[in-house]
Structure 1
Amino acid sequence: MLDRGNPDDYHWFCLRHVRDYNKSWNFFDGMSDDEVLKYKDDDITGHRPTWKMGSRTATIRPDHVYDDPFEFRKETENPFSGFQGDSHQNNQARKMDAKEREALATLNLTPGCTLKEIKRRHKELAKKYHPDTRGGDKQAEEILKNINQAYTHLLSCGNS
């Protein structure tokens, strides 16, 4: 058992004596009332520093130099680029396999669509073909499975 006063000082007790020791042990023993109140207040945030809401907002700086000792990211890569902000030309220039074209067809979407369009279409079709809205229809359940598989495949292909 570790002694709070000295972290390197251990007490070795049998189970009966451990119970007796724990009954009489007080974590706040030796602290003033102000220290106890401060400890309890700090405990709300896990004893981590806090700031007023909005005083420490993150800013995106495109000129920021990122440390990349293993050169995982090429110099020409933009760390802030993503599917949502890219233009349609970049998405259309990308090669698509047959499964990805089939997934787009399942969702009735065209190549080059945005992530927002994919999500919106998935939500629309999921509401339309959900078995609960169709009284437990097995055919609707199969259609929904295909829609979910297509959606998952599009997300895994880099359309996220």
Structure 2
Amino acid sequence: MAKRKKIDLGDTPPEGMFRQCNHPDCFESGEFRAPKSRSEDRRNPEDYQWFCLGHVREFNKSWNFFDGMSDEEVLRYKDEDITGHRPTWKMGSRTAKPRGDYQYDDPFDFREDMGAHEDTSQQYRQTASPKIDKEERDALAVLNLRPGSSLSEIKRRHKELAKKYHPDVRGGDKKAEEILKNINQAYTHLRSCANS
């Protein structure tokens, strides 16, 4: 881990040196730092003045960082303070673009549903799955199958799920009965799609 370089902010006077309070007619020790102005460079010790405890409290009561700024400047400063006064960009404007050799497997066409831009690369078109309608996509999701599944795969999956969620196996559970209804509807729809 890299060591951080310590920056001397002038907090402590050199050994044996006395720093006097900057308030006129005060001869106490100036131990507390206060800004002279709304300077951007806070590392420069000359941008500060030093007060005793009583006078720094007095200074803090009267200090207004936004003094002399218009309402618009104050609002802009507060907006920029959210990001630490660092530059920002519009969401999505600095993202990586997909390369031409990018292969994207999206069997349920989620990318199209989200409004993604069409990829014109030849390889994408070769790996893309055939278009399926929403009902078929939902039925495949219920049975947890991929598009293009064979009729034997659909039957096998239906049999597994029917055994798992049958109300007789679940002790008459109403939730299991509803799940089984959805499984049977999905199976019927996929079987009719596979036969056509």
TM-score norm. by structure 1 comes to 0.41
More strand by share: 2
Relative contact order, higher structure (CA 8 A, sep 6+): 1
More helix by share: 1
TM-score norm. by structure 2 comes to 0.33
Indicate the structure (1 or 2) with the bigger Cα radius of gyration: 2
